[in-house]
Amino acid sequence: MTLLPQTGHLRALHTVIRDRHATQADFVHYSNRIIRLLLEAAMDLIPVEPHEVTTPVGVTYAGLRPVAEVCAVPVIRAGESMEPELRAMCPGIRIGKILIQRDKTTKLPHLYYTHLPPDIAGRHVLLLEPMLATGGSAAAAIKVLLDHGVREEHVVFVNLLASPEGLAALSRAHPRVRVVTSSIEERLNESAYMVPGIGDFGDRYFGTA
Ligand code: URA
């Protein structure tokens, strides 16, 4: 698990988005800044191979490039908040979608929709889900990727806030998936919201509160 360094800078960004009085514009702007840090840290987990280039002064630079193609899969809807920063970083990146919602009666995650790049089995996958609460939906989304031939060690779960319960459940179910997060919260409350938390991320980001 990669926890972003808990610098004063990162804590200040978190302070803006955790404030219940933050405007939607501030919430989106400061969330996006954290999302960019998360995505850069996630890209750092993609293996690289040597790749030489010649610099403008005619000297060889012993550089590196990713060994494999990367694609992203946001879990609808909150995960889609991570798309704009990712597209700014990697124009043309392939993006699939997964829609999972918890059944109101059984409380179990239900898969409603999947559309993934056809060659996803050979790719490294950034699975985008800002909130890791119980871990049920995350595990269900990872299972969808594995069922499409993706290797567990090729999945990077990109996440803004994680609960200890969610992290434990995820590492039990899928021990080889790497998690990148910007905060580990204290606990879940009785409504499965994280504490101190951020409230409903999707509602605050998309303005549907
Ligand atoms: N989803 C959210 O948006 N927030 C939480 O705290 C937990 C799940």
The model carries a pTM of 0.96
List, in sequence order, every residue forming a beta bridge with 126; answer none if it has no partner. 72, 156
The per-residue pLDDT for 108 is 79
Strand partners, 180: 2, 158
Q: How far apart are CA 167 and CA 146, in angstroms?
A: 19
- Is residue 100 packed enough to be buried (19+ CB in 10 Å), middle (13-18) or exposed (0-12)? buried
Output the six-digit token pair for 99. 């829609």
ipTM exceeding 0.90, yes/no: yes
**pLDDT tens per residue across all 209 residues of the chain:** 999 999 999 999 999 999 999 999 999 999 999 999 999 999 999 999 999 999 999 999 999 999 989 999 999 999 999 999 999 999 999 999 999 987 777 767 899 999 999 999 999 999 999 999 999 999 999 999 999 999 999 999 999 999 999 999 999 999 999 999 999 999 999 999 999 999 999 999 999 98
Q: Does ligand 1 lie within 6 Å of residue 17's CB atom?
A: no
Residue of minimum CA distance from atom 2 in ligand 1: 200
Q: Which two tokens stand for residue 17?
A: 């988005």
Question: What pLDDT sits at residue 176?
Answer: 98
Any catalytic annotation for residue 19? no
**Domain at 2-206, CATH class:** alpha beta
Q: How much distance in Å is there from the Cα of 200 to the middle of ligand 1?
A: 5
Residue 146 CA to ligand 1 center (angstroms) comes to 25
**pLDDT at position 31, please?**
98
Query: Does residue 203 carry a catalytic annotation?
Result: yes
Contact 127, 155 (CB under 8 A): yes
Give residue 169's pLDDT: 96
Please state the domain extents for the chain: 2-206
Task: Return the pLDDT at 39.
Answer: 98
The position carrying tokens 């590196």 is: 64
